[in-house]
């Protein structure tokens, strides 16, 4: 079958996002092979269409009127254990990677237990992390598709230039993550299981039950707050997290915004840095609520919150 026959039109993206918000993709293709990936980019280039890469949709906001371009949903979902390494396709879910690792007595990914749908590709790009751990600690190599030259390139951990919630792949959109080798370590199964339980239990106690996308804003560097607002830093000095950052959720909570709603978008009562879809939220309402929160935090603390979520197909 040629690529044109595999590409679908006007496919709803809502079910592919954990927020369950947004309109359809004008063109949509599920990617399982390198050949299809290559052909899809050639097809889009011929038609002068923009290409968007969709992982698990657990960190994106899709506009209400949809995405005018070709959306590639990464479904190359291999997970294979080799000694202390786990080879994963970019489309593999973290949850499946954890199952595979646990089955091979491999530890390192337990902190990600309970993050729904997130893929290896999306998580490497954004250097996902929790409880003081992150993808940067695990990635040994990443194989990426260099879109301009249409070839696959292998990057070392160092080449990936990981930093807080970012990597080289976030800064340079010319690469698409195809696969990765994670370096884990052998551990007793009962210890791995206990860490998974701990992570699941933390998330079930502190995270909202309604559709969300995790943290909306990045946490803030204490040094930046200190420069802009020394009084605030003084007030917050006993609230520094283990990474030396101030939680964005804490600032939002201190503005009294838990429960603030615009239409179907609402600041979660469980966690002020999570916005939930209470039923029929529109992307437009989420954008307005994000902007309102940023303005309130700016007015009260003279600091600027930065989005951790990605605007997918806007403008």
Ligand X SMILES: Cc1cc2nc3c(=O)[nH]c(=O)nc-3n(C[C@H](O)[C@H](O)[C@H](O)COP(=O)(O)OP(=O)(O)OC[C@H]3O[C@@H](n4cnc5c(N)ncnc54)[C@H](O)[C@@H]3O)c2cc1C
Work out how close the CB of 212 gets to ligand X at its nearest, in angstroms, rounded to a whole number. Answer: 5
DSSP 104-163: TTEES-GGGTT--S-BHHHHHHTT-EETTEEGGGTEEEEEEEETTTTEEEEEETGGG--B
- State which of residues 59, 79, 113, 157 lies at the interface with ligand X (CB under 6 A): 59
> Which part of the chain contacts ligand X (CB under 6 A), choosing from 56-64, 226-234, 255-263, 287-295?
56-64
- State which of residues 108, 122, 264, 313 lies at the interface with ligand X (CB under 6 A): 122
For residue 116, with 0-12 CB atoms within 10 Å meaning exposed, 13-18 middle and 19 or more buried, which class applies? middle
Beta strands in the chain (DSSP E): 8-12, 24-31, 51-54, 60-61, 67-74, 79-82, 85-89, 106-107, 129-130, 133-134, 139-146, 151-156, 175-183, 185-186, 220-221, 245-246, 261-262, 265-267, 275-277, 310-311
> Which part of the chain contacts ligand X (CB under 6 A), choosing from 77-85, 101-109, 114-122, 250-258?
114-122
According to the binding rule CB under 6 A, does residue 289 interact with ligand X?
no
- State which of residues 214, 249, 264, 313 lies at the interface with ligand X (CB under 6 A): 214
Which residue lies nearer to ligand X by CB, 23 or 56? 56
Which residue lies nearer to ligand X by CB, 204 or 295? 204
Which residue lies nearer to ligand X by CB, 50 or 239? 50
Tell me the number of residues near ligand X by CB under 6 A.
Answer: 33
Give the span between the Cα atoms of 111 and 135, in whole angstroms. 10
According to the binding rule CB under 6 A, does residue 89 interact with ligand X?
no
Residue with tokens 């009084």: 231
Structure tokens at 226: 């200190």
Helix (H, G, I), strand (E, B) or coil at 52: strand
CB 213, CB 60: distance < 8 Å: yes
- State which of residues 11, 13, 18, 98 lies at the interface with ligand X (CB under 6 A): 18
> Which part of the chain contacts ligand X (CB under 6 A), choosing from 33-41, 121-129, 238-246, 281-289?
121-129
> Which part of the chain contacts ligand X (CB under 6 A), choosing from 182-190, 207-215, 251-259, 277-285?
207-215
Work out how close the CB of 119 gets to ligand X at its nearest, in angstroms, rounded to a whole number. Answer: 3
Work out how close the CB of 162 gets to ligand X at its nearest, in angstroms, rounded to a whole number. Answer: 12
Which residue lies nearer to ligand X by CB, 59 or 102? 59
According to the binding rule CB under 6 A, does residue 277 interact with ligand X?
no
- State which of residues 74, 265, 293, 305 lies at the interface with ligand X (CB under 6 A): 74
**149-43-21 Cα angle (round to 5):** 100
In the DSSP assignment, the letter for residue 56 is: S
Which residues, other chains included, contact 147 with Cβ-Cβ below 8 Å and sequence gap of 6+?
A: 41, 51, 174, 175, 176
> Which part of the chain contacts ligand X (CB under 6 A), choosing from 34-42, 205-213, 276-284, 287-295?
205-213
Provide the edge-to-edge strand list for the sheet that holds 261-262.
Answer: 261-262, 265-267, 275-277
According to the binding rule CB under 6 A, does residue 37 interact with ligand X?
no
Work out how close the CB of 16 gets to ligand X at its nearest, in angstroms, rounded to a whole number. Answer: 8
Distances (CA, A) of 256 to 251, 273, 296: 9, 12, 10
According to the binding rule CB under 6 A, does residue 60 interact with ligand X?
yes
Residues that bind ligand X (CB under 6 A): 18, 53-60, 74, 90, 115-119, 121-123, 125-126, 128-130, 169, 176-177, 207, 212-214, 310, 312
């Amino acid at each position: 079958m040629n690529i044109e026959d595999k590409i679908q039109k006007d496919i709803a993206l809502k079910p592919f996002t954990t927020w369950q918000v947004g309109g359809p993709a004008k063109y949509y293709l599920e990617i399982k092979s390198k050949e299809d990936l290559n052909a899809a980019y050639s097809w889009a280039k011929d038609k002068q269409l923009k290409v968007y890469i969709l992982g698990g949709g657990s960190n994106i906001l899709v506009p209400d009127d949809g995405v005018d371009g070709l959306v590639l949903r990464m479904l190359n979902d291999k997970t294979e254990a080799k000694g202390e390494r786990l080879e994963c396709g970019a489309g593999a879910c973290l949850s499946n990677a954890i199952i595979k690792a646990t089955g091979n007595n491999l530890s390192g990914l337990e902190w990600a237990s309970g993050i729904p749908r997130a893929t290896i590709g999306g998580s490497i790009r954004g250097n996902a992390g929790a409880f003081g751990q992150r993808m940067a600690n695990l990635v040994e190599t990443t194989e990426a598709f260099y879109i301009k030259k249409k070839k696959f390139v292998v990057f070392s951990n160092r080449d990936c230039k990981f930093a807080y919630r970012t990597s080289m792949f976030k800064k340079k959109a010319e690469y698409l993550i195809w696969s990765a080798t994670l370096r884990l370590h052998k551990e007793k199964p009962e210890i791995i299981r206990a860490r998974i339980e701990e992570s699941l239990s933390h998330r079930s106690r502190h995270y909202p039950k309604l559709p969300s996308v995790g943290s909306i804003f990045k946490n803030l560097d204490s040094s930046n707050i200190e420069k802009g607002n020394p009084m605030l830093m003084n007030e917050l000095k006993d609230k520094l997290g283990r990474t030396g950052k101030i939680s964005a959720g804490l600032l939002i909570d201190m503005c009294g915004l838990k429960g603030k709603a615009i239409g179907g978008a609402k600041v979660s009562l469980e966690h002020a840095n999570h916005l939930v879809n209470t039923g029929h939220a529109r992307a437009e309402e989420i954008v307005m609520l994000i902007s309102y929160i940023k303005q309130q935090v700016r007015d009260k603390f003279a600091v600027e919150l930065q989005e951790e979520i990605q605007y997918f197909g806007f403008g």
